[in-house]
Structure 1
Amino acid sequence: MWAMLEQGNRRWAGGTSRRPRQDPAWRRRLAAGQSPQAVVLSCIDSRVPPEVVFDVGIGDLLVVRTAAHTLDALVTAAVQYGPQALRAPLVVVLGHQHCGAVTAAARALRRGETLPGELPRIVAALEPAYATCDGQVEPMVRAHILRTVARLRADPLLYGTATVIGAYYALDTGLVSRVT
């Protein structure tokens, strides 16, 4: 499955996207049920839509998006749903270049600021990556990918059920590279 995602990403980055399985007939076929090939946990950033980045069709991915692909109990449950209920064999944790959530968290931690509303939850989730990277944003993104992958690989409902990998999307080139 990862090979299919890599091929689709190369098409996307190279400007030769096919946009497969996005026609009305395919949509009607999927109305009866879904069987995605992978779960993608990614950031909410509007520049990183996994279906587009991997040039796949409707129903190919179960996408879970949070700020900086942070985990909590509900997000973990959504990720678990793919392999458990839908038998998706792959989970991809997709971080990306120039992540606004990571940038905001790093800035808040550096300055000792408290962000408004529920945003401190994002900062708290990213603090371990901040601590290992001296607050540098791009290394923080990669460290957080590795941390998220480790947490999901240790999950009893995912262990032995799905392969969990980490990947990084470069906004500048459009390319996704595997980091684990």
Structure 2
Amino acid sequence: MCQECNNTSISRRGLLGGGLALSMAATAVSASPAMAQTSDAPPATPEEALQRLKDGNARYVANTPRYSDHSAGRLSRAEGQAPFAAIVACADSRVVPELVFDQGPGDLFIVRVAGNFISEYGLASLEFGAAVLGVKTIVVLGHGNCGAVYATIDSIKDRVLPPGHLPSLVNAIRPAVYDVMADNPDNLLEAATARNAQLNAQKAAAADPILSEMHEAGKISSVAAVYEISTGKVNFL
């Protein structure tokens, strides 16, 4: 690493101040994909951002998508980005947030890992999305029949950790499974999947100092949801 880079520190104030400038610049130099294909204005509040996701999912379920021409706005997107929402999604190949919420390229800032939990790297990514890019809402999106949650349940029941680096996934999801096991739910997998999304949405909201202060100021929201692959519907918790 170069000495100049090593000696450079980024203060929180600098990050937020620079983020405001970058966000304004991105909006100025390029229309968002939503603006490129519709007359919708960018959502101004967390509530508006969340409603846009809900409306998009309703279109996806009804098979009436608005975003099908992904070439629209391609040149302007090269100049910058201004996503309105961040999605913490599972790495499962069947979960495609842009399709699930019927949004165009550039609309969603996506953090993905098997089991949709928030690691330190994921948290840093969300901080960047919120403070620099200006996302208005964070959705932690679990999904039905999640293999990572299923593997965690099996590991707990069998008292055996999986091989390789898989224990890191199991250990991250384990708290959600333990939380719901005490209630003896009819469907442990469904209950643990929902709880895992809820715990990580709470983690995002409480993360000091950047995200917690933005939540307290009403600049961003964090919510949990579960996507049902068979129906396409997202259930917000």
Q: Specify the code of the residue in structure 2 equivalent to 1:158.
A: L
Change (3 A) 1:140 1:165: same
Cα shift at 1:52: 0.6
RMSD after superposition: 1.3
The one-letter code of the counterpart of 2:149 is V
Q: Which of 156, 159, 171 in structure 1 is aligned with 2:212?
A: 159
- Report the count of equivalent residues: 178
TM superposition shift of 1:10:
0.8
Normalising by structure 2, report the TM-score.
0.72
Larger radius of gyration: 2
Note if contact 1:21-1:58 (Cα within 8 Å) is conserved in structure 2: no
C-alpha distance in 2 between matches for 1:41 and 1:109: 24
What's the offset of the Cα at 1:160?
Answer: 3.8
**Match of 1:93, as an amino acid?**
V
Residue number in structure 2 paired with 1:42: 89
SS in 2 for 1:29: helix
Contact 2:109 2:129 in 1 (8 A): yes
Report whether the alignment pairs 1:128 with 2:175: yes
Q: Share of identical aligned residues, percent?
A: 33
1:44-98 CA-to-partner distances (Å, cap 9, x unmatched) read: 0111110010010000000110111122211111111111110111111111111
- Aligned pairs for 1:45-64 within 5 A: 45-64=92-111
The structure in which a higher percent of residues are strand is 1
Structure 1 residues 88-130: Cα deviation after superposition (integer angstroms, max 9, x where no partner): 1111111111111101111111111111111001111111111
2:150 match: 103
The aligned residue for residue 170 of structure 1 is 228
List runs of 5+ in structure 1 lacking aligned partners: none
Matched residue SS, 2:168 = helix
Q: 2: distance between equivalents of 1:29 and 1:85? A: 19
Which of 77, 83, 92 is matched with 2:124 structurally? 77
Instruction: Report the TM-score when normalising by structure 1.
Output: 0.94
State which of 16, 19, 37 in structure 1 corresponds to 2:64: 16
Point out where structure 2 has 5 or more consecutive residues left out of the alignment.
1-48, 215-219
